[in-house]
Amino acid sequence: MKYLAIGVFLSLCSVFLSKILWGMEKIYVVPGAVGCIFIVISMVFSGSMTSGDRMRANFATETTEHRDERHKITINSLYIALPNIIVAVLFYYVNK
């Protein structure tokens, strides 16, 4: 769960940075961007942005160690993205 703590730390830092740059009106911008970046990283490493034929070819040619590493990166980047997205959504609806 250290990646969840890293996500919380990044969301706190991004909230402070966003408050300095834009004030309370757009405090959700930087945490939302950080969350979206890590979700895109997760999508790329999960292989969900490829076609079915490419997914089958990758599955057939990769080793179990490589597959486990890819899944680990996918899950860890989601753990980092989750607090950032939650903070961005909360601040978006609070400031509305």
Q: What is the pLDDT of residues 22-42, one digit of tens each?
A: 888 889 999 999 999 999 999
For residue 79, the model assigns a pLDDT of 97
Report DSSP state, residue 51.
Answer: -
Residue-wise pLDDT for 60-89, tens only, equals 899 999 999 999 999 999 999 999 999 999
Region 45-65: mean pLDDT is: 88
In angstroms, rounded to a whole number, what is the distance separating the alpha carbons of residues 39 and 22?
24
Name, in order, each residue with C-beta under 8 angstroms of 33's C-beta and a sequence gap of 6 or more. 14
The residue whose two tokens read 């939302």 is: 32
Region 10-33: mean pLDDT is: 92
Backbone angles phi, psi at 23, to 5 degrees: 85, -170
**What's the domain range around 22?**
2-94
For residue 9, name the pLDDT band (cuts at 50, 70, 90). Answer: very high
Predicted TM-score (pTM) of this structure: 0.88
In angstroms, rounded to a whole number, what is the distance separating the alpha carbons of residues 79 and 66?
20
| Number of domains making up the chain | 1
For residue 36, the model assigns a pLDDT of 97
